Amino acid sequence: MAAARLTSRDIRSESRLVVVRALLAAGGSTRNELAEATGLSLGTVSTIVQDLLKYEIIAETGPVHGGIGRPTTGLRLNADRGRVVGFYLEDRYLEATVFDAALGELSTVEATSEEPVEDADDVIEWIVGALDDALGKAKASREDILGVGILLPGGMQRPVKAETVPSAIWLHLDRLRDRLGLPVVVDNPLKAIATAQLWLGAGRRSANVVAVSLGIGVGAGIIQDGVVVRGATNAAGEWGHSLLAFEGRRCRCGRDGCVEAYVGLPGIQRTLAEIAPGHPLAGDRDDWTFASDLAAAVESGDPAAIATVERSAHYLGAALTDLVAILNPEVITLSGWADAPASRERVLPIVRQRVLADAPGDAAAGLAIEISPRCGMEGIAAIALERFMRDVGLVTTRVIPAL
């Protein structure tokens, strides 16, 4: 479909989000400072502040004494406006995090299951249980909740297979919504990490950011011109399933040679197995403990572990160069396994050198590659907060992808 046209009403809506994000970035601010930070006129900012005060999205903090003239009124996000809850689901693992309305984390709970949780009713009760646990830990109740966000991989189409956790949620979202009695938004994790950078990370200072997530799977959330790139069916960012090596290693997606088969954690184990067949850490473990075990081996001077990390850094640098060639970002953020001391010391220098050497022309000349702690959970909370602002009529433009 063709791009929808913006109206003046949409502009006001976008500007409200801009002001909310600027206030979040500043912590506390004044109308004048917000006008300066956003480039909006003081009149526009004042109107927006009125709207946001009316719905208690923001609050006044009392007089602020500047250098000259009479004191102005301080403003901040109204953290106590309510709570938003983010969920991350796999078939044996569930995580729920409660945030306040200024995206401050209040509590997080994890639940694991010996057996995959696949039945829709079981999944729903699992979520409900985790929600109550997390709310209890945060001393909050369901009445406080402005919205719930769930991270689910994939595009907009619901999956055909019914026997996975994501499928159970996609196929039974209405039942989950009824059971919770709360607004529920579902989005793709890559869109969530891009949104987290937009609200809380590199997106505050740059309009062109790629947020790379490195775990068992790998992917990229893309911000172009200050907007999260979603693609035609919300499936953009699957850089992990772009090619590193034609007819290379078989990826779990079924394609041969994907980036993920080299820089996802199981891929790094395969590199170790190539370098040192029979190494105690080599194998195909589908969990995060490999990352810390490998870091410990590097720390102890294990040459195979060191060679593995270095070769993986070359793979990562090559794969990031592709993002630079295609998207020409100003900032690339790395989260996941890159956010560890061993990685900062050994991986980042190789990655930076490789990208600078291989990127076409001057595409990487002004590029920053940095570690970021921002995660998809914060992004889905921000998306749930956007959704709440839409429900009260403050935001008109954002199309919340799932249902």
For the bound state, the minimum distance from the C-beta of residue 245 to its own copies, rounded and expressed in Å, comes to: 4
Residue with Cβ nearer its own copies (251 or 348): 251
Out of 53, 79, 182, 229, the only residue in the binding site for its own copies (CB under 8 A) is 229
Range in contact with its own copies (rule: CB under 8 A) among 72-80, 117-125, 238-246, 387-395: 238-246
The pair of structure tokens assigned to 40 is: 């909006």
The contact pattern for its own copies, residues 334-363, with x = CB under 8 A and - = no contact, is: ------------------------xxxxxx
Residues 59-118 that bind its own copies (CB under 8 A): none
250 binds its own copies per the rule CB under 8 A = no
Measured CA to CA, the distance from residue 60 to residue 323 in angstroms comes to 42
Cα angle 295, 297, 302 (rounded to 5 degrees) comes to 130
Length of the chain, in residues: 403
Measured CA to CA, the distance from residue 283 to residue 279 in angstroms comes to 8
Out of 54, 65, 92, 205, the only residue in the binding site for its own copies (CB under 8 A) is 205
- CA-based nearest residue to 306, from 357, 369, 244, 350: 350
274 binds its own copies per the rule CB under 8 A = no
Residue with Cβ nearer its own copies (129 or 159): 159
Residues 370-389 that bind its own copies (CB under 8 A): none
The conformation of residue 224, written as its DSSP 8-state character, comes to E
204 binds its own copies per the rule CB under 8 A = yes
Measured CA to CA, the distance from residue 201 to residue 189 in angstroms comes to 16
171 binds its own copies per the rule CB under 8 A = no
Measured CA to CA, the distance from residue 100 to residue 219 in angstroms comes to 28
Residue with Cβ nearer its own copies (268 or 359): 359
Contacts of 225 (CB under 8 A, 6+ apart): 207, 208
CB atoms under 10 Å from CB of 342, counted, come to 20
Measured CA to CA, the distance from residue 94 to residue 113 in angstroms comes to 9
Residues 24-63 that bind its own copies (CB under 8 A): 38-40
Residue with Cβ nearer its own copies (22 or 131): 22
322 binds its own copies per the rule CB under 8 A = yes
Measured CA to CA, the distance from residue 259 to residue 370 in angstroms comes to 19
For the bound state, the minimum distance from the C-beta of residue 2 to its own copies, rounded and expressed in Å, comes to: 5
Out of 82, 221, 267, 329, the only residue in the binding site for its own copies (CB under 8 A) is 329
Out of 248, 274, 307, 370, the only residue in the binding site for its own copies (CB under 8 A) is 248
For the bound state, the minimum distance from the C-beta of residue 341 to its own copies, rounded and expressed in Å, comes to: 27
Task: Tell me the DSSP string of 121-155.
Answer: HHHHHHHHHHHHHHHHHTT--GGGEEEEEEE--S-
Out of 50, 143, 246, 278, the only residue in the binding site for its own copies (CB under 8 A) is 246
Q: Are strands 227-228 and 72-77 parallel, antiparallel or unpaired?
A: unpaired
